[in-house]
Amino acid sequence: MTTGGSFKDPAEQVRRSALFDPEWYRARYPDVDALGMDPAEHYLWLGARLGRSPSAAFNGAAYLAANPDVAASGLNPLLHFENAGRFEGRLLSGAASAGAAASGFPDLFALRASNPNSTRIAVAFAPSGVDDGRLDGALDIALADGDAVIAVCDPALIAAAERETARIGRGAVLLYPPAANFSEIAAHLINLGSLAKYETICLLTIGGGVQTATLDVAWRLGAFAADRIVETRAAASPALDTWFARLCRKPPAAALVPDGGALTLPGLLVHQFRAHQIAHQEFAGEGAPLFPAMLAAIAEEAGIELENFDAAARRAPAVVARRVRTVAFYLPQFHPIPENDLWWGDGFTEWTNAVRARPLFRGHDQPKLPADLGFYDLRNSETQEAQAAMARRFGVYGFCYYYYWFDGKKMLNRPIEQMLETGKPDFPFCVCWANENWSRNWDGQNRHVLLAQSYSMESNRALIREFIRLMRDPRYIRHDGKPVLIVYRIRIVPDWIETAAMWREECRAAGIGEIHLCAVRFGLEPLDGQPAEFGLDAYVLFPPHETVRVDKRGEMADLAQDFNGEIFGYDEVVDGDLARFENGYPWPVHRAAMLGWDNTARRPKDSRIFTGASPARFRRWVAGIVEQENRHNPDNDTLLFVNAWNEWAEGTTLEPSQRFGRGYLAAVKSALGPAAAPALHALAAPKRRWFPGFKARRADAPTILLAGHCVSHQLFGGERSFIDLLEALETLDLNVVVALPSAAHSFYTDICVRRSLGVAVIPYAQWKDDRSPDEAIVELFEEVIEERGVNLVYANTINHLEALAAARRMNKTTVVHARELIDRDEGLVAQIGLAPAEIISRVHEAADYVIANSAATAKLFHREGRTHIARNVVDLDALDMENRVGETVDFALVSSNLPKKGVGDFIEVARRCETLAPNSRFIVIGPENEFVMRLKTEAPENVVFAGYAASPREAMAQTNVVMSLSHFAESFGRTVAEAQAARRPVIAYDWGAVGELVEDGVNGFLVPFSDVDAAAARVSDFCAEPALIARMGTAGRARVVRENAPARLSHDL
């Protein structure tokens, strides 16, 4: 291929071309004006990449299709024609109005514009010559749930294809040219974005002879799997070198590629394939094997194993040994503020920087521009809700907002204040004090300072009080029950050690309790020594700080001559970070990863660039961190930070981009596996959502609809007992479908998804005010019962109405799990609005059988032959822990901190023990609420408010003895059983069913209901004779092992 002309000023050359029509281009593509970009600049840097044409006279996509060598080079089609093509005799290829249809390939507009009904899609290919009868049943894999497409190359097959999509009630039929192969078709669907909305894709050749059962399992698992796996030279093709070079990468040495009649692949591979910008024509004819080879290379780069379907189906479910909470740093500079208007011009936001970037070398991905969320304005609260929904869907746990404070002056704080005022989004957050000077040079150094930081103890005290206001929000992120607070650069804070100590005292005095104080390891200011030496609890890594840097300038083709910046390799950063911590952590640390780094938008000629970043390599990095956390971190709750959610001008964003789509988000979900949040996809019914489960349907086994009764923002007894029940049913020969009233707690919802056929989210309410069942909700339950083939409806509480009503109408067996002592629960009686006897009668009418969680509950709901006992269980392994008693004996009340839980009585016991047992301390473990806030103002000095504990083990680690002082009759006493499993004796009111767990004087003490003096006397006994704690703790452990092991619940059920 020869070249002619000059590329020195390509934008000017576009303007002067007779084949560029700026008015036509602006009218055809209105987003050009919306971006405020020059049409020629837009076409040069964006439009051509998107397959757009410069005028009606020149079809850029058709020109590339007719000239695959030009397409492979990545050159702009118009500039190539003007500088070389016209001299080589290459022809203009059709008018732009002909579009993609000029090649006979469908334009897919309708498919792209449709809303998905599932997270999965099956694409079935009917090659020319296949018998139309083979299309019958071709979409069985998508029958229960999953979108579908049938691609045919013979018009005679259209009728049969439409019959098949009509049979499953959804799907599209696409007609392709007779000579098209499946690789071309799949690449065409990927490149035009039709598969970008899905998390798992199945590519299936009709008549390929694939076993549907194992294929279905692999598809639901999101596995990269195939009917066969072969070794081929296509994996080492020069074409792969060319395609990977477009991302400044080299292909990995992967010889094994998928083969056969079907292939399943995770969405991550689709997003990255699209980013390589490979025209579908490159897979025509002999190029067909290159498509699976390219997918295999991307998977190898990501650390995703290629399996055959049988292996994927046999794979044991992943054991969730740890909870990984991914927190993305969040830049709030996407709305105008007066200061930026003054310094940079009216209307300045981070987008002003982002759009001005230009490529500096071949393959340089600039400008980096947003996709799904567009050029948003954070003054619109709907933007924050959309960001949170997207993050939650892909397993991102929360955001860490940069907080800008300059001695009382707050900057860019509108998004945070908006979130606090509205309560939306309902999404976890914490903050990082970005305590740098505000400067013109964007790099944290002190040149050209616009707004300087000034420090004093008074200012720092005012700042922590600002943070305390944020920490009171129930959404605030905690670690080990403590609010997480990060400071970016502690080295430049005068008297930092004193400041840290003062901050902790302020938090204690305000009732927040202990905080989890962290500092970023800022590369220019090393932190030598342990975090405690700096008044910290842990460090937070923040790549690119403290990363391996290997110079790549010499490897960049066509590097701009006036570029004075630095170019490093992303691969070396990933490999270096994993090697650094291969043998353990030198100090307490929260790991972090970056998506890339490229601040060309801020520093056009002297930027710092980490080249070769991709979602696949990021996925391998995150997976490697999780693997090291499993080996090195004894705490099962990992905080993993990501730099960043939306640093568009620094080139590191989880948010979808025009180049990588949702690839980086898909990488997070893929790397975390079972710790990732469930996908949220609305069904056609306006009030119902369906989350496909991980369990395959068991043939000939009955199906149970298990209905939960509550979803809190933390996991309390109701949710934990429901998980226990789900795990017990999992051991039986049953299919389980779960119903929940909301998906507000993504981690809880995800547990249900992974242990069932799927989760139906239906907004049903509890039984209140003697109300009748909501007919609209009953109908939704009826739909689920019919669609999922439910035989039995199991309500996890007496508080259900609609699920049981639907089952009755459809003649299905009903079971109620009674967990309430309704004759002694005045609050619940008042809520329902009926006398206890009438409530029991209504439950008997609704339920064929009652399962009780204690002997007391069974007695209350007794019917001969129809009432059975299945006691609650606890996680014995997780709570197998020592109970070390120090000079101070710790007593805790672990609860939801509602008034009925006896928090007030607990405070009164503490007050009496100030003199009665001076070596005692009382810890309130549970979420803060208005009731607790009032108690704090009156609580004695021996009371500590520790906040919510994310797990029972975390709660029990803070105490020696647990107290149960509920004002309502506990039907079981889950916290009591968990305390006994952890070798913590219990002081409890002899009230409700707690007496079935606590044997007075053996594994704890029972005292008369509401007798705080008697409870205080037992506290004194433990403090006077600490040996009682060990003896009674051992006895409690023995009792709970005997009576409340998980296997016992399975047996009872």
- Give residue-wise pLDDT tens across range 694-728: 888 998 899 999 998 665 545 556 677 788 888 88
What is the mean predicted confidence (pLDDT) over 397-421?
A: 94
Instruction: Give the ranges where 633-766 is alpha helix by DSSP (H).
Output: 663-672, 717-730, 746-754
Q: What is the pLDDT at residue 927?
A: 79
pLDDT, tens digit (0-9, with 9 covering 90-100), for 840-875: 999 999 999 999 888 888 899 999 999 998 888 888
Nearest to 425 by CA among 456, 454, 388: 388
Q: Cα 553 from chain centroid?
A: 36
Q: How confident is the model at residue 318 (pLDDT cuts 50, 70, 90)?
A: low
Q: What is the pLDDT at residue 1?
A: 28
Class of CATH domain 109-314: alpha beta
What is the mean predicted confidence (pLDDT) over 659-668?
A: 95
Task: Tally Cβ neighbours within 10 Å of residue 156.
Answer: 9
Query: Residue 96 pLDDT > 60, yes or no?
Result: no
Query: Residue 8 pLDDT > 60, yes or no?
Result: no
Nearest to 761 by CA among 665, 810, 689: 689
Q: How far apart are CA 174 and CA 336, in angstroms?
A: 46
pLDDT, tens digit (0-9, with 9 covering 90-100), for 179-193: 899 999 999 999 988
HSE-CB for 739 with a 13 A CA cutoff: 31
In the DSSP assignment, the letter for residue 202 is: E
Cβ pair 489, 522 in contact under 8 A: yes
What token pair was written down for 1003?
């594994």
| Bridge partners of residue 987, in order along the sequence | 963, 1005
Query: Residue 386 pLDDT > 80, yes or no?
Result: yes
Q: Map residue 538 onto helix, strand or coil.
A: strand
What is the mean predicted confidence (pLDDT) over 484-507?
A: 96
Q: How confident is the model at residue 681 (pLDDT cuts 50, 70, 90)?
A: very low
Q: Where in the chain is the domain with CATH 3.20.20.80?
A: 323-675
Tell me what the pLDDT averaged over the chain comes to: 86
Query: Residue 233 pLDDT > 70, yes or no?
Result: no
Q: Where in the chain is the domain with CATH 3.40.50.2000?
A: 689-869, 889-1052
889-1052 topology per CATH: Rossmann fold (3.40.50)
Q: How confident is the model at residue 922 (pLDDT cuts 50, 70, 90)?
A: very high
Q: What is the pLDDT at residue 144?
A: 58
Q: What is the pLDDT at residue 67?
A: 78
Q: What is the pLDDT at residue 101?
A: 41
Q: What is the pLDDT at residue 99?
A: 32
Q: What CATH superfamily is the domain 689-869?
A: Glycogen Phosphorylase B; (3.40.50.2000)
Q: Which residue has the higher pLDDT, 510 or 899?
A: 510
Task: Tally Cβ neighbours within 10 Å of residue 432.
Answer: 23
Cβ pair 295, 271 in contact under 8 A: no
What token pair was written down for 338?
């007066």
Q: Is the pTM of this model over 0.75?
A: no
Query: Residue 165 pLDDT > 60, yes or no?
Result: yes
Q: What is the pLDDT at residue 142?
A: 66
Least confident of 404-418, 560-574, 646-660, 756-770: 756-770
Cβ pair 369, 354 in contact under 8 A: yes
| Bridge partners of residue 682, in order along the sequence | 689
What is the mean predicted confidence (pLDDT) over 926-933?
A: 77
Q: Which residue has the higher pLDDT, 382 or 443?
A: 382
Q: How far apart are CA 206 and CA 262, in angstroms?
A: 9
Cβ pair 406, 434 in contact under 8 A: no
Cβ pair 510, 533 in contact under 8 A: no
Q: What is the pLDDT at residue 311?
A: 81
Q: Which of 102-116, 205-219, 330-344 has the highest mean pLDDT?
A: 330-344
pLDDT, tens digit (0-9, with 9 covering 90-100), for 721-775: 788 888 888 888 899 999 988 765 666 777 888 889 999 988 888 888 788 888 8
Q: Where in the chain is the domain with CATH 3.90.550.10?
A: 109-314
Domain 323-675 has CATH 3.90.1300.10: no
Cβ pair 399, 598 in contact under 8 A: no
User: Which residues are within 8 A (CB) of 355 and not within 5 positions of it... i.e. 6 or more apart?
Assistant: 35, 36, 37, 367, 369, 601
What token pair was written down for 655?
């948010």
Query: Residue 209 pLDDT > 80, yes or no?
Result: no
pLDDT, tens digit (0-9, with 9 covering 90-100), for 413-427: 999 999 999 989 989
Q: How confident is the model at residue 317 (pLDDT cuts 50, 70, 90)?
A: low
Q: How far apart are CA 776 and CA 741, in angstroms?
A: 14
| Phi and psi angles of residue 46, each rounded to the nearest 5 degrees, phi first | -125, -55
Q: How confident is the model at residue 685 (pLDDT cuts 50, 70, 90)?
A: very low
Cβ pair 995, 1008 in contact under 8 A: no
Query: Residue 1021 pLDDT > 80, yes or no?
Result: yes
Query: Residue 7 pLDDT > 50, yes or no?
Result: no
